[in-house]
Amino acid sequence: MISRAWNLRFLVAVIAAIAVLAVACSSDDLDPTSTPANSGGPQVFFPYVFSGKFTVAGEPGPQGIRMFARLGDGRGPFNDAIRPGEYLNVSVTPIDASDFGGEITFHLGNPDGPTVQAEETFTYAASTQPQLLELDLSFPRLP
């Protein structure tokens, strides 16, 4: 009789452990917008990296002009256009989860000086890895 009670307790303990593991490993833990309450570590945000063609007033944009992206209160590093009408590796990363769903804007010029915004924008969505995206941009004029 004691051995039967022990087997029943063992079985209940195994089922309880499986239930706890199932809750702990639920799909919510894989959601990059959620931060575990007791994680203690910073949440990881992945960048969007854009490349493509760009025009200024309908003509290919000039080589060497500075271009950067903004998202919320932050901005990515600036890059110079690699060739007339082409840009590469313009990136932006959210500052915090409040940037998820925010609008990414693209700018020509010096980030600390006059800039011109592209007509196109892109919506940032949470991601479990960096995103490499191709997007053609149209600017109305030079800064």
Residue 62: the pLDDT is 97
Residue 21 has pLDDT above 70, yes or no: no
Residue 24: the pLDDT is 39
**Confidence band (pLDDT; 50, 70, 90) for 37?**
very low
Q: Is 138 exposed, middle or buried (0-12, 13-18, 19+ CB in 10 A)?
A: middle
The residue assigned the tokens 């919506």 is: 123
Locate 105 and state its tokens. 């804007």
Q: Tell which wins on pLDDT, 20 or 100.
A: 100
Angle at alpha carbon of residue 98, lines to 71 and 94, rounded to 5°: 40
Residue 73 has pLDDT above 80, yes or no: yes
> What distance in Å separates the CA atoms of residue 101 and residue 103, rounded to the nearest whole number?
7
* Range in 8-22, 36-50, 115-129 with the lowest mean pLDDT: 8-22
